Amino acid sequence: MAKFRGTIKHNALEGGHFQLLADDGTSYEVEGNDPLLRRDGARVEIDGAIDRTALSLAMTGPRLKVKSVKAA
């Protein structure tokens, strides 16, 4: 698992989804059930892995499968 830090943003594209705008400028579509992942503007630290095989209509970056998340 890798660590990712950044800000959660809601994106209205294709019905809406949440993404992580990482501190390094990379954007990821987040996959997970934690309520913190659905809080627009939340600063977070995520333990997870990038799933490069996942398909999505979001088209905002690779999907980040979240193992755990905490406020940063």
CATH number of the domain encompassing residue 11: 2.40.50
What is this structure's pTM? 0.88
- Total domains, the chain: 1
DSSP state of 53: T
Which domain covers residue 54, as residue numbers? Answer: 2-71
Burial 13-32 (b: 16+ CB within 10 A, else e): eeeebbbbbbeeeebbbbbb
pLDDT digits (tens, 9 = 90+) for 10-64: 998 877 899 999 999 999 999 999 999 999 999 999 999 998 877 676 667 899 9
**How high is the pLDDT of residue 24?**
96
